[in-house]
Amino acid sequence: MPAPSLDAVANLAKRRGFIVQSSEIYGGAAAAYDYGPLGVELKNNLKRLWWEDMTRRYENIVGLDAAIFMHPKVWEASGHVEAFSDLLVECRTCHKRFRAEEVSKDACLACGAKKSFTEPRKFNLMFRTHLGPTEDAGSTVYLRPETAQGIYADAPYIQQVMRLKLPFGIAQIGKAFRNEVTPGNFIFRTVEFEQAEMQFFVRPSEADRWFEHWKEERMRWYHTVLGFPNDTVRFHPHAKKELAHYAKAADDIQYHFPIDWQEIEGVHNRGDWDLSRHAKFSGKDLSFFDEDTKEKVLPWIIETSAGVDRVLLALLTQAYTEETVKEAGAAGRGAGEKRLVLKLPRHLAPVRAAVFPLLSNNDELVAKAQEISRELRQHFVIQYDDAGAIGRRYRRQDEIGTPHCVTVDHVSLEDNTVTVRDRDTLRQDRVRCGDALIACLRTV
């Protein structure tokens, strides 16, 4: 099947309660999105899988949830005040701004005016605001443009209280904000987004080895945990001129979106940039005592930085499937009938199972289905649905990626079994209620 367009993915996401533009009743806020009831379940599942993979599997990686507001000097030390900017040009006719690298020298992309651009000027991507009642330079604070700096500022504290030895890591998931000049492509580039970052503190002599290690580990995650096929994700090593101001080496992990290959995660060797700058700006010694060499060392940092929203967009794109039903009678479908199904990895699906009474006007079936639904709700996210023909109910669940549909029929009333229909194979099996049903739905 050809890859769906981003518009098709965005339409489905909106129609089915995953993602909608922020403040839509006012015409929508530019480049900001809300995750609806199903979107938040999917996003939470995704973040949980990242968290489990990046913290619980390792005894030397711990978690953090740092504040978004930090001391403004943090952003001077990090280099973001000085260097976190895009080069912009402005059209003298329509006053729209573009990234300098995006415009053709001849004509404005918006109004078509010829040779009307200003010279490129730097535009800082950090959102600035003021803390407290006055709006002077001393009260300036920034919305963090990356979660990483909270980790660096707390690293000496965390190392001490958790008695961590080199190498060790600190992981964090949280919001970041960037005043992007050209946001767009649905949730791909927004001004408010979430990052899942892990900062790994290493001896300088071991940095290259750990950089390679984390590249492989992160690629493994995309393949084995999220199920991305080999030909949909790749590394993109940064050439020298592409490197961010803090990076000694960097590889993007790119996903093959309908709009092209695009970055979903960066793996960076940040050298001693961050800790040496914070040591200088704070006046604190941020070197750690190395138990093995019995020397003080200023660790280097290997960073893995994933964009939660971009990975989620890749997941939706990967899962979006239009297919033709092969066999007549397969769970309420005729042969040749088309269906739209979100083939999300089952452990990520926002709803684990839907429970239906076969007939919505039969009180006994309805009561039994509601009782089963209540029981299953203690273990999984469940939807109960008795509205419309059974085929339509299947269709609704296919479109949100629900792996199992549990139907209560007349046989259920006699022997306490139900039919369980599989989203992908469309097979229906009879399963006994209680432990057997719970075990069946747990299978991913």
Among 195, 232, 318, 397, binds ligand GAP (CB under 6 A): 195
274 binds ligand GAP (CB under 6 A): no
Query: What's the start-to-end Cα distance of the chain, in Å?
Result: 24
Nearest distance in Å: CB 228, ligand GAP: 14
Among 13, 54, 148, 372, binds ligand GAP (CB under 6 A): 148
Structure-token pair, residue 283: 């006046």
180 binds ligand GAP (CB under 6 A): yes
Nearest to ligand GAP of 55, 179 (CB atom): 179
Q: Which token pair is 213?
A: 């290690």
- Candidate list 97, 144, 189, 404; residue touching ligand GAP; CB under 6 A: 189
154 binding ligand GAP? (CB under 6 A) = no
CB 177 to ligand GAP: min, Å:
9
265 binds ligand GAP (CB under 6 A): yes
Buried residues in 266-281 as b, exposed as e (16+ CB within 10 A): bbbbbbbbbbebbbee
Calpha distance 262→317 (Å, rounded): 13
User: Shortest approach of ligand GAP to residue 263 CB, angstroms?
Assistant: 5
In whole angstroms, how close is the CB of 147 to ligand GAP at the nearest point? 7
178 contributes a contact to ligand GAP by CB under 6 A: yes
Using alpha carbons, select from 84, 14, 4 the residue that is nearest to residue 315: 4
- Among the residues of 34-147, which ranges form H helices? 37-51, 73-77, 80-83
The nearest distance, CB 194 to ligand GAP, in angstroms, is 8
Stretch that binds ligand GAP, among 188-196, 316-324, 399-407, 433-441 (CB under 6 A): 188-196
Closest CA to 14 of 316, 256, 414, 223: 316
The single residue among 34, 208, 263, 422 that binds ligand GAP, judged by CB under 6 A, is 263
Q: What is the DSSP string of 260-319?
A: EEEEEEEEEEEETHHHHHHHHHH-----EEETTTTEEE--EEEEEEEEHHHHHHHHHHHH
Residue list 294-353, contact with ligand GAP (CB under 6 A): 303, 305-307, 309-310
Site for ligand GAP contains 358 (CB under 6 A): no
DSSP 396-419: HHHHHT-SEEEEE-HHHHHHSEEE
Q: Which residue is nearest to ligand GAP, using beta carbons?
A: 307
- Give me the residues paired with residue 388 across strands: none
- For position 254 contacting ligand GAP by CB under 6 A, the verdict is no
266 sits near ligand GAP (criterion: CB under 6 A):
yes
**By CB under 6 A, residue 271 contacts ligand GAP:** no
At closest approach, how far in Å is the CB of 203 from ligand GAP?
A: 21
Angstrom distance (rounded) from CA 194 to CA 172: 10
Contact 66/148 with Cβ under 8 angstroms?
Answer: no
Nearer to ligand GAP, 193 or 288 (CB): 193
Q: Determine if 256 is a binding residue for ligand GAP (CB under 6 A).
A: no
CB 376 within 8 A of CB 382: yes
**b/e string for 203-229 if b means 16 or more Cβ within 10 A?**
beeebeebbebbbebbbebbeebbbbe
Residue numbers at the binding site for ligand GAP (CB under 6 A): 146, 148, 178, 180, 189-190, 193, 195, 197, 263-266, 303, 305-307, 309-310
